[in-house]
Amino acid sequence: MSLIEIPVGPQHPALHEPILLRVRADGERVVGIQVVTGYNHRGVEKLGERSTWSKDVFLYSRICGICNTVHAQTYTQGVEAIGGIEVPPRAQYLRTLVMELERIHSHILICAVMAEVVGFDSLFMLMMRDREPVMMLKELVTGNRVIADYYVLGGVRRDLDEVKKDKILKVLEGVEARVKYYKKIFMEDYTITKRLLGVGVIKPSEAVAYSLVGPTLRGSGVKSDVRADDPYAAYGEIPFNVVTYSDGDSLSRMLVRLDETLESIEMIRYIIKHLPEGPIAPKTPIRTLHEGEAFSRVEAPRGELIYHIVSKGGDKPYRVKVRTPSFNNIINGVIAYRDARIADVPVILTSFDPCISCTERILVIDERNGSTKVLSLKDLSRWGK
């Protein structure tokens, strides 16, 4: 065996954010991969300790530009649990609507990126075109197409009238037809199936053992979704199916996302039809909290997102610890590269829907007992941020 090392990244045409994959290969066959991150760490957790509870809603929603309302949901519901703050039913439904809009545009985006990675540029451009109406709907509801500062502690900022409801339903009809067409392409087109089918296989037992989450987990046939397992917002009142595919390959992970997009469209229709009456936010803003802590989790587009929030009393958090889904999937997903070809590496990475900016971590140095130990990314992926 004659091994060579090929660096994929930290700047690479197939990677939209900085990360380095040190690929060890024997000829064309991949025999090992080391994930090297740390190019984009922003210290968000520490910044949160210096700001107030209400201002931190803006900070933590900026951990990820794609799923910013999901981060706002995870943070606010943790703070609301500590403070015993009751969110009005109408606000819970509106929060759920926005999170599902976000899931739709996130899933369409990564499917488009996958088309780009395999060289299907026309499909990439068509999917990005058809994602735009969803971004428009997000702006219609929240006031912004990307960073939606929609949440306040105890509710949301903007309501939904009948005109906006009709607009959402009309636009989603067109989006649904296009997503069904794209699913057919992913299942039947030779360019897609040749590159994705049977590539990067993860067995169900491996997906569980390596703590993989989200569509990456469900693409291996494991039926696990926080929205169904531990309902939050209005998910306990909205019917939906947890989508799984059993093959565990890159194609299965993409098909899970396309089917979930169709499920999200149905969920939004249900929300609009059953939207409760009433207020959307508390009459007085929440400024201080008593001592306590909360463990908050949601199902982000990429999988289980966790916040551990600690309050010592007052107007600022003592600690907000975040574990994003990409952290587990990127670090522990190296098992998917076994015996892959070098050309498969970008495809497998893309099938995880990697978000590097919310994955970044600092190294932790443990100097207890007179010795020094630097925790590896593998260790950190077991324990979180």
Token pair belonging to 58:
């803006």
Distance of CA 155 to the CA centre of its chain: 22
Contact call for residues 296 and 74 (beta carbons, < 8 A): yes
Domains in the chain, start-ordered, CATH in brackets? 3-40+327-383 (no CATH), 44-319 (1.10.645.10)
Tens of pLDDT along the chain (385 residues) come to 678 999 988 887 767 788 889 999 999 999 999 988 877 777 888 889 999 999 999 999 999 889 899 999 999 999 999 999 999 999 999 999 999 999 999 999 999 999 999 999 999 999 999 999 999 999 999 999 989 899 999 999 999 999 999 999 999 999 999 999 999 999 999 999 999 999 999 999 999 999 999 999 999 999 999 999 999 999 999 999 999 999 999 999 999 999 999 999 999 999 999 999 999 999 888 899 999 999 999 999 999 999 999 999 999 999 999 999 998 999 899 999 988 999 999 999 999 998 887 776 555 555 566 565 655 555 655 554 4
Q: Pick from 103, 378, 29: which is nearest to 256 by CA?
A: 103
Rounded Cα distance between 190 and 239, Å, is: 35
Peptide bond into 285 cis (omega under 30): no
Rounded Cα distance between 364 and 347, Å, is: 31
Rounded Cα distance between 199 and 219, Å, is: 12
User: By three-state DSSP, how is residue 190 classified?
Assistant: helix
Residues 6+ apart with CB under 8 A from 255: 183, 186, 187, 219, 245
**Total residue count of the chain as it appears in this document:** 385
Rounded Cα distance between 376 and 385, Å, is: 12
Contact call for residues 52 and 315 (beta carbons, < 8 A): yes
Question: Residue 30: beta bridge partners?
Answer: 25
For 70, 102, 107, 242, 329, the CA distances from 217, given in Å and listed in that order, are 19, 20, 15, 12, 9
Rounded Cα distance between 12 and 147, Å, is: 26
Per-residue confidence (pLDDT) for residue 384, from 0 to 100:
46
In the chain, what is the straight-line distance between the N-terminal and C-terminal CA atoms, in Å? 38
User: Which amino acid does the sequence have at 369?
Assistant: N
Sign of CA dihedral 284, 286, 289, 295: positive
How many C-beta atoms surround the C-beta of residue 321 within 10 A? 15
Rounded Cα distance between 50 and 342, Å, is: 45
Rounded Cα distance between 170 and 179, Å, is: 15
Token pair belonging to 134:
């969803």
Q: Pick from 349, 307, 289, 355: which is nearest to 327 by CA?
A: 355
